[in-house]
Amino acid sequence: MIIIFDYILDVFFPRNLKCIYCNKDIDENNKYSLCDDCKVKVSFIEGNVCKYCGRHIKDGNICLECEKNRYYFQRGISVLEYNDNSKKLVLALKYNKKTYIAYYFAKMIYDKMELNEMVDFDIITYVPSSKKKRRKRGYNPSEIIAKYVSKFSSIPYEKLLIKEKDTVELKSLNRMQRKLTVKDSFKIKDNDLNIKKCLIIDDVFTTGSTINECSRMLYEKYVCDITIATVYVGDIDK
């Protein structure tokens, strides 16, 4: 429903007229609707990255954070570093109802997928939110982003998971507390699908506890190859 409404808006009010970060007028060809100054502020991740979370690392292929964990997904990408400047966009999407930002987040993810030749999936899904949180917010940002990634890539989208437990906010918890909090908080949605390669979308990767729990549920159900894609990756103290 949101995407249909967003499409109507795009017809009558074309995108790329103003910077989504500072709101000043921009050229219609500015990528991701960002002015040149703000493109630097949002902190795109470049260079060598961790194979699991997508963090920038100096050398090797696994960051120190991911070395401490066992994951049920095989690889992952992230687009932006989560810091004091860059987080402005995701906070606007999550708490200020600026759902149009999801379109640009999805385009960033899709472009990175193409760059890394990661477009061979049977299905795209997302990390669900609880009924209480969705009712309060009116939408799930990760769901909207996933639908747009599906649109850009032509890979089918499907809701595969349901969040059963209304867990506490994770941002104040340490790694172990996060793992225990999200454990068994999701269940598989009833379906009859044959999935070999699945892409899970979420907005922010910190310790990876939530998206890994989703990956565990999907892996145990389908024994499939799982890739994750998140807009942001940040440290646990962010």
- Looking at the chain, the whole-number percentage of residues with pLDDT higher than 90 is 74
Spatial separation of the C-alpha atoms in residues 34 and 153, rounded to whole Å: 22
With respect to residue 30, please indicate whether it lies within any of the assigned structural domains: no
**What is residue 174's predicted lDDT score, i.e. its pLDDT?**
65
Q: What is the residue whose two structure tokens read 């066992």?
A: 70
Q: How far is CA 32 from the centre of its chain?
A: 16
**What is residue 46's predicted lDDT score, i.e. its pLDDT?**
94
With respect to residue 53, please indicate whether it lies within any of the assigned structural domains: yes
With respect to residue 12, please indicate whether it lies within any of the assigned structural domains: no
pLDDT in tens, 3-44: 555 655 555 446 788 999 999 999 989 999 999 999 999 999
**What is residue 6's predicted lDDT score, i.e. its pLDDT?**
61
Q: Phi/psi of residue 31, each to 5°?
A: -65, 140
With respect to residue 19, please indicate whether it lies within any of the assigned structural domains: no
The yes-or-no verdict on residue 183 having pLDDT over 80 is yes
CB atoms within 10 A of CB 136: 9
User: Which structural domain, as residue segments, surrounds residue 164?
Assistant: 43-233
**What is residue 7's predicted lDDT score, i.e. its pLDDT?**
56
With respect to residue 153, please indicate whether it lies within any of the assigned structural domains: yes
Instruction: Characterize 78-91 residue by residue with b for buried, 16 or more Cβ atoms within 10 angstroms of its Cβ, and e for exposed.
Output: bbbbbeeebbbbbe
Query: Which amino acid, one-letter code, is at 41?
Result: K
Spatial separation of the C-alpha atoms in residues 227 and 186, rounded to whole Å: 18
Spatial separation of the C-alpha atoms in residues 141 and 135, rounded to whole Å: 13
Domain count, the chain: 1
**What is residue 10's predicted lDDT score, i.e. its pLDDT?**
58
pLDDT in tens, 107-138: 999 999 999 999 999 999 999 998 888 888 99
The yes-or-no verdict on residue 2 having pLDDT over 90 is no
The predicted model scores a pTM of: 0.91
> Mean pLDDT, the chain, as a whole number?
90
Q: How far is CA 181 from CA 133, 166, 184, in A?
A: 16, 10, 9
**What is residue 63's predicted lDDT score, i.e. its pLDDT?**
95
pLDDT in tens, 41-88: 999 999 999 999 999 999 999 999 899 889 999 999 999 999 999 999
* Structure-block tokens of residue 214: 């989703």
Q: Which H or E run includes 77?
A: strand 75-81
Spatial separation of the C-alpha atoms in residues 119 and 99, rounded to whole Å: 24
Confidence of residue 176 (pLDDT cuts 50, 70, 90): confident
Spatial separation of the C-alpha atoms in residues 58 and 209, rounded to whole Å: 24
Q: What is the residue whose two structure tokens read 């996060």?
A: 178
Nearest to 144 by CA among 11, 9, 5, 3: 3
* Structure-block tokens of residue 52: 């699991």
Give 23's contacts (C-beta < 8 A, 6+ positions apart): none
Q: Residues 91-113: what's their mean pLDDT? A: 95
With respect to residue 75, please indicate whether it lies within any of the assigned structural domains: yes
Q: How far is CA 98 from CA 9, 36, 55, in A?
A: 13, 21, 26
The yes-or-no verdict on residue 238 having pLDDT over 50 is no
With respect to residue 146, please indicate whether it lies within any of the assigned structural domains: yes
Spatial separation of the C-alpha atoms in residues 145 and 128, rounded to whole Å: 12
With respect to residue 5, please indicate whether it lies within any of the assigned structural domains: no
**What is residue 12's predicted lDDT score, i.e. its pLDDT?**
45
DSSP code for 82: -
Give 103's contacts (C-beta < 8 A, 6+ positions apart): 6, 15, 148
More confident residue, 178 or 116: 116
**What is residue 199's predicted lDDT score, i.e. its pLDDT?**
98
Find the CATH number of the domain harbouring 95: 3.40.50
Spatial separation of the C-alpha atoms in residues 233 and 33, rounded to whole Å: 21
- Looking at the chain, the whole-number percentage of residues with pLDDT higher than 70 is 89
